[in-house]
């Protein structure tokens, strides 16, 4: 499976149900609805379509409502206008734009002479000459054509605009009403801004909606640690960030944000212009492919597509291309090496992080195929992903909302399971879910990690870490001689080995009290119904160096010639060859 997830912005080119389904089949995990465009009512319709697709497919499809925030944009106009280099233009609130006077959604009267005004992601640059009340007069330094509703940036200028606009309030109502899986907060400056959004959601009954903080301002970079601590996720919004900060600083800032988030176990999305040329092209540029690859190598939880899927000519092809790039990178030795070198340390005092980190290395050292994280709230699953194990993470949860929210976390494959009455049943259900969804095969060794489950009153639900073999247990006893072997089993009443096929497991009944006769080299393992660690069979097993389990009466239903696996370390006899998966890896 792919570890890094794909977030897709839905727009006119992709908002019908069939295309949403096609995007999900191609690899989309999260639907992003950009409130800077379209209407709230239409976004509600798209959410309904996304939910319908989620019901049809196996993997979860989450919905993120991305707030417009206190952004400043130029007026909505029918045709572009030309701002000529060297000309003088006035900026003030208004709903029209001409080459001499550009209307804005908010006043930029806080600007001062010498400040820079950047339009349309910096494509047009102006220098402030004077401020006449709410009108800011500037000279066009670098001109060009200005279209409708283009972004306005004033690097280093604190514009007096409310964090939560009336338009944002409508989107927060929408998010709470439709049980959106995430809300992305635009233009946050510090942790307090994140908490304000959380308070507004809580007031609307959406207190369980995670907040993704978008890093778009230079001030946000300075307050990064506090924002990461306050938020449930972070987006590296490179569009505005590349205008607010020197362009040459953005790559390093991106790496710093990703690393900070990974170390804290907070999902991080790398966004903006990742495959921008594919808005109109069938193939991305080599530079764009490298951009995606570097974000994946840095450990990003997700990569995001914006205009490529919102207004592009072939959104599904874009997602398919992104999926191929990510998978190719993740299959490389360089990716494996990077992942091994950047394992975070567990927070002191956090049992969940300590166990999640242990699960990562335990899975590697015993050759496990999967880490299964049993998680009611998603916390344990996200902490497991934080340490980037080298095998897939199958997260089981009884909460469908959590199942969708885990769609954003690196390497996690969420599965919905039912509540059970005891911890053993919960763990068994989790393993069954991993088998049913293809996260593990019969015979695989799994590392199972469980967090605290609040629904089980009176049950010991403290954090648990265990190794589980995904196979039916035929009988348990005591491990007399360590080792593991898979071979056909044959019973003997008197110890005669003449009819025993080569490399067989010998099963001894409770009445056996003699010695073996014949070629001992035929014995691959011993299962003895009698208790005892020092009797004759145990002596033979040690001399031959074959595994043995004592105190284990093989059920009569197991016919001679049936392949079993003898685990002399755990004292268990499994049905079938549970070592096959490990050999094949």
pLDDT, tens only, 2-18: 999 999 999 999 999 99
Out of 267-276, 375-384, 425-434, 501-510, pick the least confident.
425-434
Q: Establish if 75 belongs to a structural domain.
A: no
DSSP SS3 for 144: strand
380 falls in which pLDDT band (50, 70, 90)? very high
Q: Establish if 249 belongs to a structural domain.
A: yes
What is the pLDDT, as a whole number, of residue 457?
A: 47
Residue spans of beta strands (DSSP E) within 429-561: 445-450, 464-469, 473-476, 478-481, 484-492, 504-508, 523-528, 548-550
Q: Establish if 159 belongs to a structural domain.
A: no
pTM: 0.83
Indicate whether 450 and 570 sit together in one domain.
Answer: no
Indicate whether 200 and 296 sit together in one domain.
Answer: yes
Higher pLDDT, 297 or 418: 297
- Tell me whether strands 484-492 and 478-481 are parallel, antiparallel or unpaired: unpaired
Out of 19-23, 299-303, 430-434, 482-486, pick the least confident.
430-434
Count of positions (residues) in the chain: 585
Q: What is the CATH number of the domain that holds 177?
A: 3.20.20.60
Indicate whether 466 and 361 sit together in one domain.
Answer: yes
Q: Establish if 395 belongs to a structural domain.
A: yes
Indicate whether 50 and 31 sit together in one domain.
Answer: yes
Q: How far is CA 495 from the centre of its chain?
A: 56
Model confidence over 141-157: pLDDT tens digits? 999 999 998 989 888 88
Q: How far apart are CA 344 and CA 193, in angstroms?
A: 27
Q: How far apart are CA 226 and CA 279, in angstroms?
A: 35
Indicate whether 367 and 455 sit together in one domain.
Answer: yes
Q: Single out the residue of 43, 69, 272, 281 nearest to residue 178, CA to CA.
A: 43
**Does residue 455 register a pLDDT over 60?**
no
Indicate whether 440 and 483 sit together in one domain.
Answer: no
Indicate whether 434 and 538 sit together in one domain.
Answer: no
Q: How far apart are CA 416 and CA 237, in angstroms?
A: 32
What 8-state DSSP symbol labels residue 254? H
Percent of the chain with pLDDT over 70: 96
Q: Establish if 253 belongs to a structural domain.
A: yes
Q: Single out the residue of 220, 202, 221 nearest to residue 211, CA to CA.
A: 202
371 and 393 Cβ atoms separated by less than 8 Å: yes
For the chain, how many helices (H) and strands (E)? 18, 29
Higher pLDDT, 381 or 435: 381
422 falls in which pLDDT band (50, 70, 90)? low
Q: How far apart are CA 411 and CA 430, in angstroms?
A: 17
Model confidence over 94-105: pLDDT tens digits? 999 999 999 998
**Does residue 197 register a pLDDT over 90?**
yes
Q: What are phi and psi of 389, to 5 degrees?
A: -65, 160
Tokens 């439709």 map to which residue?
178
What is the pLDDT, as a whole number, of residue 421?
A: 66
Indicate whether 124 and 201 sit together in one domain.
Answer: no
Indicate whether 461 and 478 sit together in one domain.
Answer: no
Q: What is the CATH number of the domain that holds 460?
A: 3.40.1380.20
Q: Establish if 281 belongs to a structural domain.
A: yes
Q: How far apart are CA 138 and CA 476, in angstroms?
A: 83
Q: What is the CATH number of the domain that holds 129?
A: 2.40.33.10
Indicate whether 569 and 435 sit together in one domain.
Answer: no
Residue range of the domain that includes 210 = 5-69+164-338
Domain boundary among 279, 310, 338: 338
What is the pLDDT, as a whole number, of residue 458?
A: 45
* Cα dihedral 389, 393, 399, 404 sign: positive
Tokens of 16: 């019908």
Indicate whether 363 and 465 sit together in one domain.
Answer: yes
Beta-carbon contacts of 410 under 8 Å, excluding residues fewer than 6 positions away, are 3, 4, 5, 267, 299, 300, 301, 302, 385, 388
Active site residues: 32, 73, 214, 272
Q: How far apart are CA 462 and CA 451, in angstroms?
A: 7
Indicate whether 431 and 321 sit together in one domain.
Answer: no
Q: What is the CATH number of the domain that holds 563?
A: 3.50.30.10
> How many domains does the chain fold into?
4
Tokens 């390497």 map to which residue?
411
């Amino acid at each position: 499976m792919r570890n890094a997830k794909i977030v897709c912005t839905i727009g006119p080119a992709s908002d019908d149900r069939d295309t949403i389904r096609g995007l999900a089949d191609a690899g989309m995990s999260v639907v992003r609805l950009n409130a800077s465009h379209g209407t709230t009512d239409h976004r509600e319709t798209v959410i309904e379509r996304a939910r319908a697709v989620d019901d049809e497919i196996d993997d979860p499809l989450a919905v993120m409502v991305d707030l417009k925030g206190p952004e400043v944009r130029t007026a909505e106009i029918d045709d572009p206008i030309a701002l000529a280099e060297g000309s003088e233009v006035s900026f003030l609130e208004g709903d029209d734009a001409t080459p001499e006077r550009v209307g804005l959604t908010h006043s930029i009267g806080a600007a001062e002479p010498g400040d820079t005004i950047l339009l349309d992601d910096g494509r047009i640059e102006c220098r402030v000459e004077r401020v006449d009340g709410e009108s800011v007069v500037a000279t066009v330094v670098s001109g060009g054509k200005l279209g409708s509703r283009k972004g306005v940036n004033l690097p280093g200028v604190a514009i007096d605009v409310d964090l939560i606009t009336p338009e944002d309030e409508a989107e927060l109502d929408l998010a709470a009403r439709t049980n959106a899986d995430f809300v992305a907060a635009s233009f946050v400056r510090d942790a307090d801004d994140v908490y304000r959004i959380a308070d507004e959601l809580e007031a609307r009954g959406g207190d369980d909606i995670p907040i993704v903080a978008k890093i778009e301002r230079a001030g946000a970079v300075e307050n990064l640690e506090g924002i990461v601590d306050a938020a449930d996720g972070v987006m590296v919004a490179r569009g505005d960030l590349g205008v607010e900060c020197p362009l040459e600083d953005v790559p390093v800032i991106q790496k710093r944000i990703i690393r900070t988030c990974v170390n804290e176990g907070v999902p991080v999305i790398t966004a903006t212009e990742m495959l921008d040329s594919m808005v109109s092209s069938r193939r991305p540029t080599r530079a764009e492919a490298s951009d995606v690859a570097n974000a994946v190598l840095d450990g990003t939880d997700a990569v995001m597509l914006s205009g490529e899927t919102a207004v592009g000519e072939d959104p599904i092809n874009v997602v398919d291309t992104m999926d191929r790039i990510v998978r190719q990178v993740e299959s490389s030795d360089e990716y494996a090496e990077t992942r091994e070198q950047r394992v975070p340390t567990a927070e002191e005092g956090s049992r969940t992080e300590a166990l999640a980190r242990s699960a990562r290395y335990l899975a590697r050292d015993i050759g496990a195929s999967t880490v299964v994280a049993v998680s009611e709230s998603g916390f344990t699953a996200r902490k497991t992903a934080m340490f980037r194990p080298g095998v897939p993470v199958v997260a089981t949860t009884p909460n469908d909302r959590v199942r969708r929210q885990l769609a954003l976390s690196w390497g996690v494959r969420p599965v919905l399971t039912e509540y059970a009455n005891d911890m053993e049943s919960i763990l068994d259900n989790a393993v069954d879910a991993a088998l049913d969804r293809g996260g593990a095969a019969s015979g695989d060794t799994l590392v199972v990690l469980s967090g605290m489950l609040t629904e089980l009153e009176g049950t010991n639900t403290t954090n648990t870490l265990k190794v589980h073999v995904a196979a039916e247990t035929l009988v348990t006893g005591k491990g007399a001689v360590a080792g593991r072997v898979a071979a056909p089993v044959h019973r003997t009443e008197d110890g005669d080995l003449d009819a025993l096929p080569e490399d067989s497991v010998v099963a001894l009944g409770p009445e056996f009290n003699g010695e073996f006769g014949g070629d001992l080299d035929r014995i691959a393992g011993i299962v003895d119904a009698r208790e005892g660690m020092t009797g004759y069979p145990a002596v033979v097993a040690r001399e031959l160096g074959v595994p043995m389990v004592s105190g284990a009466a093989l059920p009569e239903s197991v016919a001679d010639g049936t392949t079993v696996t003898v685990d002399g370390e755990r004292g268990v006899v499994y049905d079938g060859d549970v070592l096959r998966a490990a050999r094949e890896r």
